[in-house]
Structure 1
């Protein structure tokens, strides 16, 4: 489908503490070597889930091991205790929270990047080996457009529509923005199987994770009528269901972790929409008591 970029706005993602990149060869410092790097992430976090799905699509279990973090950070500042040694080794007197996701360098014991989109791109561009093309050449503007639609047209709009203390006018405007964005996606996915081209790309990973958050997190703060209108996009939710059945997507769904992370962070009020589930994500998710495949721990 063709995606038209909306007007640019500042990103909702926080500024990363580290933003190194993996280059083409040894001259770049950080270069692609199998098992040199390690991912530290929680699939309960949207950025962590995006990277986990990307990692699964690329088949990088052996080339880049993964250490899974708890769904709810265990430090008072919102960071992960397991990541503190990496942060301390990477920045002198670092005082911020030790947040995931993290791409670390096992050779140096330091952090390469904490910027989720960069990590996903570097995995795809430096380790894919031609197996999957998640970032097609010439599709950069379409990929950026999907990222903005997800961040602003869905994520931000859904948050405003369900925020406590928001006036009715602002709430209605936010819901209109959300429904208009879903309508554009519905129209395209009613004709095309994927967002860009005829195969899964990073745009599909971005949208799928956003839809997971919409149905498992933001829905709980919306009224039932709003959720029914959101659900009334059959092509879009059929697409989400189809991707959930793909092993690289559904096996990383930690529904219990998503709910626990939401409860730990959210101060909003539950609304009637909490009882109107759109998709049965549990059909494809990994049980909280189960073990994740190919997990590598330090």
Structure 2
């Protein structure tokens, strides 16, 4: 948190990458170690409650990597120490044997003192965390694990759109993905209102963009859509009220709402969304915002299955 009350996200993640033959990648950080692509070696640890982890679940599904990279899911609530595997029998991940994700971090870095975040990729044999750098986890699922994609996997990073797509994703990250948190965790009126204005300016830009095209980059789904979707899926259920992002609801923005439903009804997207877990995470874990821990009963989630009318764009 800055002196002005602005929320500052800690973006210092474990910079290791998993690449084909542990090669140096063409894009992104190489400050950490390079690990080889190896089916069955790694376990993705995620949580359906978390939007950043939700991305990795969706991309893994879209690319057909379910039989290549196993997945463990943490429950929606956690304490200051770590996410836990309380959804599994006995409260332990059946592959790693851990009760807490923290154990994988400490297995590799005994003095690890930063946040224990999801998603994280864990080396099954050693039990140690490999990386928690979520933007590069999904990027590398596409570029480095290509030999293991299903035959009809979507091209999430079209070469001819990459430069524009990265600009779009950069704005979405700062103003929308992180923008809702900048609203919710602001500790001054000025910081909150500045974040609020930036968020809705970006949503208006997206509303205009999506009124003329089915997906963010045109007629096909890309990584940019995955990144925006996980925030939109949580907007009315959490961010509108809990984070005070209340100029309007998602359901009141015709293009964005139709777009969000279009993705929700696409295999690999909506089946990763658990509204109960999402609400429980935010309203129970954020005690400074919601000290009672009461989880709202609404909104009605059946509206996500109503016709979206986007097929013709």
Q: Same fold (TM over 0.5)?
A: yes
Q: 1:177 aligns with which of 190, 198, 206?
A: 198
Question: Is 2:135 aligned against 1:117?
Answer: yes
In 2, Cα distance between equivalents of 1:100 and 1:54: 15
2:159 counterpart SS class: coil
In 2, Cα distance between equivalents of 1:142 and 1:158: 23
Report the alpha carbon displacement of residue 171 of structure 1 after superposing the two structures with TM: 5.0
For the 8 Å contact 2:81–2:102, the answer to whether it is kept is no
Q: Which residue pairs with 2:222 in the alignment?
A: 201
Q: Normalised by the size of structure 2, how large is the TM-score? A: 0.74
In 1, Cα distance between equivalents of 2:140 and 2:223: 12
1:42-62 Cα offsets, whole Å, 9 max, x none, are 011111101001111111110
Q: Which residue pairs with 2:260 in the alignment?
A: 240
Question: Is 2:5 aligned against 1:38?
Answer: no
2:268 counterpart SS class: helix
In 1, Cα distance between equivalents of 2:125 and 2:57: 22
1:220 counterpart SS class: coil
Question: Is 2:11 aligned against 1:14?
Answer: yes
1:40-91 Cα offsets, whole Å, 9 max, x none, are 1101111110100111111111011111111112x44244443233222211
For the 8 Å contact 1:22–1:32, the answer to whether it is kept is yes
For the 8 Å contact 2:42–2:122, the answer to whether it is kept is yes
For the 8 Å contact 1:255–1:282, the answer to whether it is kept is no
Q: 1:200 to 1:107 in 2, by over 3 A?
A: same
In 2, Cα distance between equivalents of 1:90 and 1:159: 30
1:30 counterpart SS class: strand
Q: Which moved further from structure 2: 140-149 or 218-227?
A: 218-227
Q: Which residue pairs with 2:176 in the alignment?
A: 154
For the 8 Å contact 1:23–1:126, the answer to whether it is kept is yes
For the 8 Å contact 1:57–1:132, the answer to whether it is kept is yes
Q: 1:31 to 1:237 in 2, by over 3 A?
A: same
For the 8 Å contact 2:56–2:137, the answer to whether it is kept is yes
In 2, Cα distance between equivalents of 1:214 and 1:142: 25
Q: Which residue pairs with 2:158 in the alignment?
A: 136
For the 8 Å contact 1:87–1:98, the answer to whether it is kept is yes
Q: 1:27 to 1:242 in 2, by over 3 A?
A: closer
1:91-124 Cα offsets, whole Å, 9 max, x none, are 1333445432211122433221111111111111
Unaligned runs of 5+ in 2: 1-6, 25-33, 85-98, 307-313
Q: 1:76 to 1:177 in 2, by over 3 A?
A: closer
Q: Which residue pairs with 2:21 in the alignment?
A: 25
In 2, Cα distance between equivalents of 1:276 and 1:109: 39
For the 8 Å contact 1:42–1:101, the answer to whether it is kept is yes
For the 8 Å contact 1:241–1:279, the answer to whether it is kept is no
Q: Which residue pairs with 1:227 in the alignment?
A: 248
Aligned residues: 268
Unaligned runs of 5+ in 1: 1-9, 285-298
2:272 counterpart SS class: coil
Q: 1:281 to 1:126 in 2, by over 3 A?
A: farther
Report the alpha carbon displacement of residue 214 of structure 1 after superposing the two structures with TM: 2.2
Map of 1:38-77 to 2, 5 A cutoff? 38-73=43-78, 75-77=79-81
Bigger helix share: 1
Q: Normalised by the size of structure 1, how large is the TM-score? A: 0.77
